[in-house]
């Protein structure tokens, strides 16, 4: 067997692309070719549309795709979490049924974990899964479900055993979203956007073979999904392949990305838009106010230090050294930066901070910052949860004594929620 | 720009840490801080013979080891961890001034002694006004015979009462100028000031017609000394993150050990969240300090702003960390016997030294808002 290295991979993928890449093909048609050849997901197993390529060599393949302008498999959205979870825990049936259509982009997915009564305490989910006859019957409510209104399939965490301990009574399912028992309603946020949904289950059905792993394994499987969610948090920067090239396949890809990314269009404002600060300070004259200058300086120091802290962590990783604590702080630091940025934008903008939409500065962008920043310290793990993670995993501080983990879940005090609010 | 440490630098750090922990246990810190001198001449010489501290960033041509600012900053960070009582920062500051302003002959004459630890040097710039801006200097230097005479008062001079060589910033008819003066020069009166932080001594120096030798061209000090101040701020910021990290670690160790209400106080969320915030403060300040040291070595044109950013960040972080550390220790933390106050006081003095956070934020904004 010949040795696999950067040069051999580059030569092989280049030769394959030269023979096969054809921008005149339809998006799905082309992606099916990628599935058959293994070049669409080269780090995946050979038997499942991949080539068993070491992850470190994937960028070489990406470079060759970019060089020729070849479109890749569908990568944006929750479907990547579905793929990672199915690859790690799914049965052969799951892999056969779902993986190819994830890669081609034919199926879209959503994640059904959070509930009105369990946000930070995700393992406290109370959506019920009851085995009736030979089918699972699902009742309850999920929330914060991105793209659920478009999704064909959902990754569902539900409680199947109320006598087991909290983390042991959960089971993980793949649920068909297009059925009468599943109702999806948009969830309007305080900033007016509706990027998420609430999903209501009323006797929704899951076929028994769509359970992942076994009953009671739900938390373990969910941990895999969550790990990939954290790791892929910046995978949202999904760019089109064409680089300005024309052709049907590029149009199809662009439309797909636009649909997937639509819920995220306010995310830059959520992060505080530090990039706008100096320009705004100059154009308003606030730059000459010594008090505002100090606040701007504090923000810039924080934002630069955040950037350099991330770079320290990345460099250590690239050099093959273990990351220090600096690698675990990014999420919490981003909240600090966002909050400080919102304060500074307000100081700079003065009374005009009261105005939004076309009456507000930058056609409402400043207003959108001010009312979107509160999401930053909540979404994807609140600041408080981040501090728990940092103190327990990095600083090795003891956990607080638990009052719920060791008793049957039915005896755990919990929120009273009405499923239909 | 890459600014992660190489494995050689990490190795250097771990050697230094062991070495300085051996040389500067708190027992020794407490002994030296009670003396008027504040440091031990024989011990300082020995340290420099064994490992070379001030020598690190002095070029080999002048008797140094020829490393960069990043390596020097590792030394300072480690010295900060142990609140080392030694004229390290003063001599470093003076060495950079001589490197930036001196001519070739002056560098050859003055730097080898500083590198070996034989000569302890310092910089006298700030005056009783407490203004760190060199433009505020009022001390006059007047041409007399073939040389110059200095008249006026300098204050906040680090190790000024013990230094063998003092680099002085003064005003001449041609503008700001640097001079060197011997510590025992006639007409120089040196007074040890009472300070909060006794681990780093400050002196007031009164000059009455003191003979002084120009360092570099008379009237040409403004630009080179501005460069020196930039690098001094980077060095101090790195020393400060060493102080901050040691404070943070001591608070964490204590919280894990201290039992109240039948459990370690480290298991309370109020403690855990504070510690997480302390880690963020210290790591952010470290990133800025390390980046600034790398910017010195890279000759980054934005260095003045980056240096002020690092000093401002370190000033806020080290003081906040010190305050949290005393708080986490509770009553015992407010006692003389507990070591926390040694670091708290160094944190306080470094916060203000060379300009506090607000001062450096304004310097940074002058660069970036222009």
Give residue A236's pLDDT: 47
Whether the CB of B257 is below 8 Å from some CB of chain A: the reply is no
C-beta atoms of B368 and A278 within 8 A? yes
Q: Please answer whether residues B248 and B278 qualify as being in contact, where contact means their C-beta atoms are separated by less than 8 angstroms.
A: yes
Residue A56: is its pLDDT beyond 90?
no
Chain B residues whose CB is inside 8 A of the A384 CB are 273
Give residue A313's pLDDT: 83
Give residue B2's pLDDT: 63
Domain with CATH 2.40.110.10 in chain A: 81-235
**Per-residue pLDDT reduced to its tens digit, A346-399:** 999 999 999 999 999 999 999 999 999 999 999 888 999 999 999 999 999 999
Chain B residues whose CB is inside 8 A of the A300 CB are 309, 364, 368
Provide the pLDDT confidence category of residue A37 given band limits of 50, 70 and 90. Answer: very high
- How confident is the model over B217-240, as a mean pLDDT? 98
β-strands B202-215, B147-158 pairing:
antiparallel
Residue B237: is its pLDDT beyond 90?
yes
Residue A234: is its pLDDT beyond 50?
no
Provide the pLDDT confidence category of residue A229 given band limits of 50, 70 and 90. Answer: confident
Q: What is the pTM of this model?
A: 0.91
C-beta atoms of A298 and B288 within 8 A? no
Do both B107 and B126 map to the same domain? no
The CATH code of the domain that includes B361 is 1.20.140.10
Give residue A326's pLDDT: 74
Q: Please answer whether residues B76 and B353 qualify as being in contact, where contact means their C-beta atoms are separated by less than 8 angstroms.
A: no
Do both B109 and B239 map to the same domain? no
- Between chain A and chain B, the number of residue pairs with CB atoms below 8 A apart is 117
| Interacting residues of A264 by C-beta distance below 8 A, sequence separation 6+ | A195, A236
Chain B residues whose CB is inside 8 A of the A326 CB are 283, 286-287
Q: What is the fold, at CATH topology level, of the domain defined by A266-381?
A: Butyryl-CoA Dehydrogenase, subunit A; domain 3 (1.20.140)
Q: Please answer whether residues B235 and B57 qualify as being in contact, where contact means their C-beta atoms are separated by less than 8 angstroms.
A: no
Sign of CA dihedral A95, A100, A106, A111: positive
Do both B161 and B27 map to the same domain? no
Do both B227 and B188 map to the same domain? no
Do both B49 and B108 map to the same domain? yes
Other C-beta atoms lying within 10 Å of the C-beta of residue B18: 11
Instruction: Please indicate, yes or no, if residue B333 is contained in any of the structural domains.
Output: yes
Instruction: Please indicate, yes or no, if residue B2 is contained in any of the structural domains.
Output: no
**Per-residue pLDDT reduced to its tens digit, B120-167:** 999 999 999 999 999 999 999 999 988 999 999 999 999 999 999 999
Do both B54 and B145 map to the same domain? no
**Per-residue pLDDT reduced to its tens digit, A85-115:** 999 999 999 999 999 999 999 999 999 999 9
The CATH code of the domain that includes B162 is 2.40.110.10
Q: Does the domain formed by A81-235 have CATH 2.40.110.10?
A: yes
Instruction: Please indicate, yes or no, if residue B247 is contained in any of the structural domains.
Output: yes
Q: How far apart are the first and last CA of chain B?
A: 24
Give residue A239's pLDDT: 62
Instruction: Please indicate, yes or no, if residue B74 is contained in any of the structural domains.
Output: yes
**Per-residue pLDDT reduced to its tens digit, B296-332:** 999 999 999 999 999 999 999 999 999 999 999 999 9
Distance CA A413, CA A404 (A): 8
Chain B residues whose CB is inside 8 A of the A285 CB are none
Provide the pLDDT confidence category of residue A235 given band limits of 50, 70 and 90. Answer: very low
Whether the CB of B260 is below 8 Å from some CB of chain A: the reply is no
Do both B38 and B146 map to the same domain? no
Instruction: Please indicate, yes or no, if residue B63 is contained in any of the structural domains.
Output: yes
The CATH code of the domain that includes B46 is 1.10.540.10
Distance CA B221, CA B215 (A): 9
Give residue A415's pLDDT: 85
Whether the CB of B313 is below 8 Å from some CB of chain A: the reply is yes
Domain with CATH 1.20.140 in chain A: 266-381
Residue A2: is its pLDDT beyond 80?
no
Do both B263 and B333 map to the same domain? yes
| Interacting residues of B13 by C-beta distance below 8 A, sequence separation 6+ | B5, B74, B77, B78
Which residue of B271, B280, B358 is in closest CB contact with A332? Answer: B280
Give residue A84's pLDDT: 95
Domain count, chain B: 3
Domain extent for B155:
122-220
Chain A residues whose CB is inside 8 A of the B252 CB are 395, 397
Give residue B91's pLDDT: 97
Instruction: Copy the structure tokens of residue A115.
Output: 């509930």
In 3D, which of A264, A279, A267, A265 has the Cα closest to residue A345? A279
């Amino acid at each position: 067997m010949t040795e696999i290295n950067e040069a051999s991979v580059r030569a092989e993928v280049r030769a394959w692309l030269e023979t096969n890449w054809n921008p005149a093909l339809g998006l799905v048609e082309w992606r099916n070719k990628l599935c058959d050849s293994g070049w669409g997901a080269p780090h995946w197993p050979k038997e499942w549309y991949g080539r068993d390529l070491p992850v470190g060599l994937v960028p070489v393949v990406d470079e060759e795709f970019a060089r020729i302008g070849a479109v890749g498999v569908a990568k944006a959205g929750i479907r990547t979490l579905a793929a990672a979870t199915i690859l790690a825990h799914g049965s052969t049936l799951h892999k056969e049924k779902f993986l190819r259509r994830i890669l081609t982009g034919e199926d879209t997915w959503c994640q059904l974990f959070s509930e009105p009564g369990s946000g930070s305490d995700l393992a406290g989910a109370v959506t019920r899964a009851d085995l009736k006859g030979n089918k699972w019957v699902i009742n309850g409510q999920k929330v914060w479900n991105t793209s659920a209104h478009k999704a064909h399939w959902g990754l569902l965490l539900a409680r199947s055993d109320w006598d087991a301990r909290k983390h042991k009574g959960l089971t993980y399912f793949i649920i068909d979203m297009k059925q009468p028992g599943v109702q999806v309603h948009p969830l309007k946020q305080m900033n007016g956007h509706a990027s998420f949904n609430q999903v209501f289950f009323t006797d929704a059905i899951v076929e028994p073979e769509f359970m992942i792993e076994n009953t009671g394994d739900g938390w373990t499987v969910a941990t895999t999904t969550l790990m990939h969610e954290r790791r892929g948090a910046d995978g949202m920067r999904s760019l089109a392949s064409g680089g300005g090239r024309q052709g049907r396949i590029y149009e199809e890809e662009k439309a797909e990305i636009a649909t997937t990314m639509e819920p995220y269009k306010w995310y830059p404002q959520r992060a505080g838009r530090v990039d706008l600060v100096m320009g705004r300070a100059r154009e308003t004259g606030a730059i000459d106010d010594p008090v505002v200058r100090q606040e701007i300086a504090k923000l810039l120091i924080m934002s630069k230090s955040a950037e350099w802290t991330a770079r320290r962590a990345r460099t250590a990783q690239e050099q093959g050294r273990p990351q220090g604590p600096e690698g675990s702080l990014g999420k919490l630091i981003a909240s600090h930066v966002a909050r400080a940025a919102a304060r500074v934008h307000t100081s700079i903008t003065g009374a005009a901070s009261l105005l939004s939409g076309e009456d507000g500065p930058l056609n409402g962008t400043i207003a959108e910052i001010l009312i979107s920043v509160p999401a930053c310290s909540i979404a994807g793990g609140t600041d408080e949860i981040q501090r728990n993670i940092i103190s327990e995993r990095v600083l090795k501080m003891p956990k607080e004594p638990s009052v719920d983990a060791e008793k049957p879940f039915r005896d755990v005090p919990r929120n009273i929620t009405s499923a239909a609010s | 720009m890459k600014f992660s440490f190489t494995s050689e630098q990490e190795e250097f750090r771990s050697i230094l840490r062991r070495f300085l922990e051996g040389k500067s246990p708190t027992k020794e810190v407490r002994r030296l801080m009670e003396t008027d001198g504040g440091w031990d001449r024989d011990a300082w010489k020995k340290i420099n013979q064994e490992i070379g501290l001030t020598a690190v960033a002095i070029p080999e041509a002048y008797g140094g080891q020829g490393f960069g600012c990043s390596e020097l900053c590792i030394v300072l960070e480690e010295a900060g961890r142990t609140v080392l009582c030694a004229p390290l920062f003063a001599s470093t500051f003076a060495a950079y001034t001589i490197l930036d302003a001196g001519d070739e002959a002056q560098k050859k004459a003055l730097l080898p002694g500083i590198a070996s630890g034989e000569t302890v040097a310092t910089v006298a710039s700030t005056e009783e006004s407490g203004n760190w801006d060199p433009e505020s200097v009022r001390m006059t230097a007047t041409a007399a015979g073939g040389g110059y005479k200095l008249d006026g008062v300098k204050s906040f001079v680090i190790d000024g009462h013990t230094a063998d060589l003092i680099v002085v910033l003064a005003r001449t008819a041609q503008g700001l100028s640097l001079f060197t003066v011997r510590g025992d020069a006639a007409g120089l009166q040196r007074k040890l000031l009472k300070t909060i932080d006794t681990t780093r001594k400050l002196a007031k120096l009164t000059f009455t017609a003191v003979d002084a030798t120009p360092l570099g061209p008379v009237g040409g000090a403004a630009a080179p000394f501005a460069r020196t101040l930039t690098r001094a701020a980077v060095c101090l910021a790195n020393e400060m993150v060493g102080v901050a990290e040691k404070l943070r670690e001591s608070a964490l160790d204590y919280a894990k050990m201290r039992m109240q209400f039948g459990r370690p106080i480290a298991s309370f969320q109020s403690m855990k969240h504070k510690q997480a915030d302390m880690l963020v403060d210290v790591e952010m300040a470290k990133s800025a300090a390390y980046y600034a040291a790398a910017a010195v070595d890279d000759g980054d044109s934005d260095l003045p702003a980056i240096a002020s950013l690092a000093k401002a960040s370190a000033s806020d972080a080290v003081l906040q960390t010190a305050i949290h550390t005393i708080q986490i220790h509770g009553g015992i933390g407010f006692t003389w016997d507990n070591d926390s106050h040694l670091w708290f006081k160094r944190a306080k003095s470094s916060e203000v030294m060379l300009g506090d956070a607000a001062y450096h934020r304004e310097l940074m904004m002058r660069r970036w808002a222009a």
